[in-house]
Amino acid sequence: MSSVAILGATGTIGSVLARRLVRQGQHVLLVGRNEEKLRSLSEELGQPFVAVDLTSSQPLEEALRAMADAQGGFHALVNCIGSILLKPTHTTTDDEFRQVVETNLFTAFATVRVGAKLLRERGGVIVLFASSAAEIGIQNHEAIAAAKAGVIGLARSAAATYASNNIRVNVVSPGLIRTEMTRRIWENATNATASAQLHALGRLGEPEQVASLASWLLDGENDWITGQIIGIDGGLGHVLPRR
């Protein structure tokens, strides 16, 4: 049986997705940067892990190729890596901007680059993560909006390039989800209420809901979907909240 490689498997959504896929009987390769966290998740799930420097795509390719035989190959790659930076442009430093782009856009590029090489012969699925912030202007989100808009462009073009190889490329685009990344926002009651009110449905999202969408996109039953940006955002990306 082939496997799903999850990049950023130690993050909130990455680990919830890994648990969900394992419950479904799928094989998962846990990929990340922190060996200690990876080992702990690996022991919990009984799935292998690989710690990789994700600042260039070569180590990722080498690691996945080395694992491919043991895993029966891969049929999917999911990039759950991401970060957040809430600042207006004029106070964002060059290094901060580069870091946001590296974490959010470069890792998506590396996922597609390596995924395209590994999946070209047999086809497969790539799932990337954007953000509602890339689809609607939200104050102080310039760096993350720019990086995630890059992910959307990358995914649409790659979907076109690799459709003839039967590789589907889709994007999950969340609103504000209760994860480690956003803890400082939702742990504060005032901020949580203000953030919930930006979403037409008036509440924040949960990691399980996002993992459910990602696993649905990975399911072979849904194999006529490519180049799509699917919001899971309580309406944030496209629906005005009631005033």
Ligand X SMILES: NC(=O)c1ccc[n+]([C@@H]2O[C@H](COP(=O)([O-])OP(=O)(O)OC[C@H]3O[C@@H](n4cnc5c(N)ncnc54)[C@H](OP(=O)(O)O)[C@@H]3O)[C@@H](O)[C@H]2O)c1
Applying CB under 6 A, the residues found at the interface with ligand X are: 8, 10-14, 32-34, 37, 54, 80-83, 103-104, 129, 131, 174, 176-177, 179-182
HSE (side-chain half, CA atoms, 13 Å) at 93: 3
Helix, strand, coil distribution of the chain in percent, nearest 5: 50, 15, 30
What is the closest distance, in whole angstroms, from the C-beta atom of residue 201 to ligand X in the complex? Answer: 15
Q: Minimal distance in Å, beta carbon 241 to ligand X?
A: 17
CB-based contact 155:227 (threshold 8 Å): yes
Least gap, CB of 232 to ligand X (angstroms): 9
Beta carbons of 113 and 58 less than 8 angstroms apart: no
- Residue 61 Cα distances to 82, 170, 191, angstroms: 19, 20, 41
Nearer to ligand X, 101 or 163 (CB): 101
Which of 124, 234 has the CB closer to ligand X? 234
By beta-carbon proximity to ligand X, the closer residue of 37 and 203 is: 37
Rounded to whole angstroms, the Cα distance separating 165 from 116 reads 9
Smallest separation (angstroms) from ligand X to the CB of 52 = 9
* 61, two tokens: 């390719």
**Strand extents, DSSP E, 123-218:** 124-129, 167-174
Rank residues 83 and 165 by Cβ distance to ligand X and give the closer one.
83
Q: Return the number of the residue (33 or 120) whose C-beta is nearest ligand X.
A: 33
Nearest approach, Cβ of 69 to ligand X (angstroms)? Answer: 25
Give dist(CA 136, CA 238) in Å, integer. 7
